[in-house]
Structure 1
Amino acid sequence: MPEFLGSWNETEVEAFLQRATIPIRIATHRPDGSPWVVTVWYRYHDGGFECATEDSAHLVRFLRTDPEVAFDVSTNRIPYRGVRGNGTATLEPDTDKTVLRALVERYLDGTDSDLARRLLDDERDEIRIRIEPRQVFSWDYTDRMQGTDDS
């Protein structure tokens, strides 16, 4: 069970993560130890983050070397709010593309677009990334940013 800190309780964090269709930023380490940040689609499912990417992605290779990650899911427009934290990633094949299909439907509102068809192509080997959060910190600057123009 992760530790929840910051502005929101666990229920509020989960509501934000279920509602927000913004990507997650995952920070990991390359094999030489230097940091690496990748932005991917996610769904918050059973208390963790699920993502999918091609088996050949650098992120998969880096996570196989070091599964410890940090993450950030936050708005880019005023008022700024979101969650960040750390945890451990596990990898497994998304053979039937269950996670990828859920992500395509979440972010593209269906599977009828050219991008959706390309992503769901049978020739692509997908990996399911699951991040089990250890610590989740939330922040919400809505009150202090009231009346601020976000243009």
Structure 2
Amino acid sequence: MTTTTDDGLDLLNDPVAQQLLVSRQPARVAYTWHDGTPRVVPVWFHWDGTQIVVGTPPAAPKVRALQEHPSVSVTIDEADWPYKVLLVRGHAEVTVHDRVTEEYVAAAERYMGPEAAAQWVAGLGEAPMARIAITPEQVRVLDFVTRFPSALDS
């Protein structure tokens, strides 16, 4: 049995991680609210090979919170047994763009398919978009076959 004691960035190349990074599962981003309490939000995402990128309206509450507290945790997981889980800790950088970002378009295409995504993005028009780029600093993979949470280590 292998536990999650290995948390290197090379785990992003693990087949389980690679499968989850291109899946249609939402990422769940945990961040710190203005009052210091935790928040978690499910989001569409795009993996660009080095960062998890999220698009959102600039007025979304998480934007200002991430600008104040950029440390985040992200999980992408499958709910069917044996569970597959990618856990990422890192920091978020927020930039505001004049229009929908290319990563948001790529995420929409993956989640909705090309035709539905084109309609969805067209409906957004030329509205500005906040780009949240999460840079991994620590990675863990659980697959409940060869890698288990450390609490299950005997």
Alignment TM-score, normalising by the size of structure 2: 0.78
Q: Which residue is equivalent to 1:88?
A: 91
**Structure 2 Cα separation of the partners of residues 134 and 60 of structure 1:** 20
Residue 3 of structure 1 aligns to which amino acid in structure 2?
G
Please list every run of 5 or more consecutive structure 1 residues that lacks an aligned counterpart in the other structure: 145-151
**Structure 1 Cα separation of the partners of residues 19 and 116 of structure 2:** 27
CA RMSD of aligned residues (A): 2.4
The equivalent position to 2:122 in structure 1, one of 113, 117, 131, is 117
The verdict on how the C-alpha distance between 1:13 and 1:94 changes in structure 2, with shifts beyond 3 A counting, is: farther
The equivalent position to 1:33 in structure 2, one of 32, 36, 46, is 36
Please list every run of 5 or more consecutive structure 2 residues that lacks an aligned counterpart in the other structure: 1-6, 148-154
Q: Please identify which structure carries the higher helix content.
A: 2
Residue 40 of structure 2 aligns to which amino acid in structure 1?
V
The sequence identity of aligned pairs, in percent, is: 26
Q: Deviation string for 1:104-148 (max 9, x for gaps)?
A: 111111244654433x322x321111000000100102579xxxx
Residue 41 of structure 2 aligns to which amino acid in structure 1?
V
Q: Which residue is equivalent to 1:99?
A: 103
Q: Which residue is equivalent to 2:152?
A: none
The verdict on how the C-alpha distance between 1:117 and 1:77 changes in structure 2, with shifts beyond 3 A counting, is: farther
Alignment TM-score, normalising by the size of structure 1: 0.80
Within 5 Å, which residues of 2 pair with 1:1-150?
3-4=8-9, 10-97=13-100, 98-112=102-116, 115-118=120-123, 120-122=124-126, 124-142=127-145
Shift of 1:54: 0.5
Please give the secondary structure, in 1, of the residue aligned with 2:34.
coil
**Structure 2 Cα separation of the partners of residues 115 and 9 of structure 1:** 30
